[in-house]
Amino acid sequence: MSEMQAIKALHTGDASPFLASNPANSGIRFGDHRGIREAVEEMMRKGWVRTTEGFEECKRKTWEKNEAVMMRILRDL
């Protein structure tokens, strides 16, 4: 499941479009695979809940990693 598919599923509360999809045109849908179906069901059951503090911490870590990458790029120029 792509990140965008997961966000859509969590936002709408509906993963059925993903589970019904058959991107390989093999006649076998993602939902037909037990492991995939169970993982998606677990993701939907748990949801994606993050406190404001948790969200801010996540952003701060991302910014720190981005800054470290930028500094490495600038040093290599």
| Domain identity same for 33 and 13 | yes
Number of folded domains in the chain?
2
* CB distance 30 to 24 below 8 Å: no
| Domain identity same for 6 and 38 | yes
pLDDT score recorded for residue 76: 85
| Domain identity same for 63 and 39 | no
- Reported pTM: 0.60
Question: Alpha-carbon Rg of the chain, whole angstroms?
Answer: 18
| Domain identity same for 5 and 40 | yes
| Domain identity same for 4 and 41 | yes
| Domain identity same for 34 and 71 | no
| Domain identity same for 37 and 62 | no
pLDDT tens for residues 23-52?
999 999 999 999 999 999 999 998 876 677
pLDDT score recorded for residue 51: 73
The whole domain housing 73 covers 50-77
Residue 3: band (very low, low, confident or very high) from pLDDT cuts 50, 70, 90 = confident
| Domain identity same for 41 and 77 | no
HSE value, Cβ hemisphere, 13 Å, CA-based, for 36: 16
| Domain identity same for 25 and 38 | yes
